């Protein structure tokens, strides 16, 4: 992968944000390389069915949407390379992206689309039933649980806000929290406690998720050591997210707890460096907004490269 070529744009991450940025850049005939350590699609690949992406009135599987996005971008000449990024030098005019095999890429501009990952419980059944009753996004999957009894695991702002949101669809929402007190802001707690569809299991933790083809029950352990199995048709695990920022030069990039701060044009504090999607501070973590970020970043890169040409 290492050579003397200086590309116009390097995109790190092939989720919806990175693929859309690649589509716009390639259509603008920019020399663009998109780097992905796995399969193009990002977290979309872990989503069984997407019902809220415009243009698909019947919905579409996460795999199919990712495949279509990648194919569309490649139709305009986007180059997708596989590699694990271990470091970046983004401060110079020519940016350098380093890989675990010792090779590197150089480019005039970089779009960071490395995403974020939801924190997991790491209990039996969680991985096997993800996308089949185990979810990490209420906005994405809430409508699938109409008139069902579901659980939310967590005690922060997001967990309680999403529990209230889920009452629009579910019959009951049981919040399971391992402590006696919530971390959520008082006003958010008050709203949740005032909702008759929201129930609470405190000083309790989920130690197993059961079901053959989809979630059927949760195994719950209480602080006194007692365990019980309760019937639920779904569980939303909302215990925080972690940015995929290990490879980023956070000492130079403005960030909030690893999430990159950008302006409305997706520009970071470093010239020629943009960030899109879930790695961006303030992202609402939806496929459609990540794609929107990618489109904006693609246009911003065009303008940035044009400004470099005018300086010559």
Give the residue from 145, 132, 148, 119 showing the smallest Cα distance to 210: 132
- The mean predicted confidence, pLDDT, of the chain is 94
pTM of the model: 0.85
Q: Are residues 63 and 22 in the same domain?
A: yes
Cβ atoms within 10 Å of 167's Cβ, excluding its own? 17
Are 75 and 45 contacting, i.e. CB atoms less than 8 angstroms apart? no
Catalytic residue among 140, 224, 263, 278: 140
Q: Are residues 127 and 210 in the same domain?
A: yes
Confidence of residue 284 (pLDDT cuts 50, 70, 90): confident
- 12, two tokens: 């790190």
Distance CA 167, CA 185 (A): 19
Distance CA 86, CA 81 (A): 15
CA distances for 36 relative to 33, 62, 214, 225, 267, angstroms: 10, 17, 31, 44, 21
Catalytic residue among 141, 147, 157, 264: 141
Q: Are residues 151 and 247 in the same domain?
A: no
> Into how many domains does the chain fold?
2
pLDDT at 309: 80
pLDDT in tens, 55-96: 999 999 889 999 999 999 999 999 999 999 999 999 999 999
Give the residue from 197, 190, 192 showing the smallest Cα distance to 154: 192
Q: Is 149 a catalytic residue?
A: no
Q: Are residues 45 and 77 in the same domain?
A: yes
Question: Which of 176, 204, 237 is the last residue in one of the domains?
Answer: 237
Q: Is 264 a catalytic residue?
A: no
- Is pLDDT at 49 greater than 90 in this prediction? no
pLDDT at 132: 93
Radius of gyration over every alpha carbon of the chain, rounded to an integer in angstroms = 21
Distance CA 36, CA 22 (A): 12
pLDDT in tens, 198-210: 999 999 999 999 9
pLDDT in tens, 126-147: 999 998 999 999 988 999 999 9
Question: Which of 237, 254, 287 is the last residue in one of the domains?
Answer: 237
- Is pLDDT at 2 greater than 60 in this prediction? no
Q: Are residues 130 and 232 in the same domain?
A: yes
Confidence of residue 292 (pLDDT cuts 50, 70, 90): very high
**What does 68-98 look like in DSSP terms, one character per residue?**
HHHHHHHHTT-EEEE--EEEEE-SSSSEEEE
Catalytic residue among 48, 137, 149, 157: 137
Q: Are residues 172 and 258 in the same domain?
A: no
Average pLDDT value for residue range 227-241: 96
pLDDT at 46: 73
CATH number at residue 153: 3.50.50.60
- Is pLDDT at 1 greater than 80 in this prediction? no
Domain around 130: 120-237
Angle in degrees, 0-180, between the axes of helices 16-27 and 62-75, rounded to the nearest 10: 20
Confidence of residue 3 (pLDDT cuts 50, 70, 90): low
Confidence of residue 45 (pLDDT cuts 50, 70, 90): confident
Quote the percentage of the chain above a pLDDT of 70.
99
């Amino acid at each position: 992968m290492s050579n003397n070529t200086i590309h116009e744009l390097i995109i790190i991450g092939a989720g919806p944000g990175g693929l859309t940025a690649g589509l716009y850049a390639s259509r603008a005939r920019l020399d663009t390389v998109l780097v992905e350590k796995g399969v193009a699609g990002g977290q979309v690949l872990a989503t069984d069915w997407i019902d809220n992406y415009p243009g698909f009135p019947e919905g579409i599987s996460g795999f199919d949407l990712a495949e279509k996005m990648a194919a569309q971008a490649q139709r305009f000449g986007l180059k997708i390379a596989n590699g694990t990024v271990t470091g970046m030098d983004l401060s110079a005019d020519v940016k350098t992206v380093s890989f675990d095999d010792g090779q590197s890429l150089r480019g005039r501009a970089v779009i960071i689309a490395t995403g974020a990952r939801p924190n997991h419980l790491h209990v039996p059944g969680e991985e096997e039933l993800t996308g089949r009753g185990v979810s990490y996004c209420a906005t994405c999957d809430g409508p699938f649980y109409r008139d069902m009894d579901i659980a939310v695991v967590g005690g922060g702002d997001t967990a309680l806000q999403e529990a209230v949101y889920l009452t629009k669809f579910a019959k009951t929402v049981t919040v399971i929290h391992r402590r006696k007190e919530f971390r959520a802001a008082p006003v958010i707690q008050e709203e949740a406690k005032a909702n008759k569809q929201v129930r609470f299991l405190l000083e309790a933790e989920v130690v197993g998720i059961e079901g053959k083809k989809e979630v059927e029950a949760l195994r719950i352990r209480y602080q006194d050591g007692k365990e019980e199995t309760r019937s639920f048709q779904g569980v939303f695990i909302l215990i925080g997210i972690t940015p995929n920022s290990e490879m980023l030069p956070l000492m130079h990039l403005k960030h909030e707890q690893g999430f990159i701060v950008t302006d409305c044009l997706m520009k970071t504090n470093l010239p020629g460096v943009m960030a899109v999607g879930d790695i961006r501070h303030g992202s609402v973590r939806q496929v459609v907004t990540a794609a929107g970020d990618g489109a904006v970043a693609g246009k911003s890169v065009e303008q940035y490269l044009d400004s470099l040409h005018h300086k010559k």
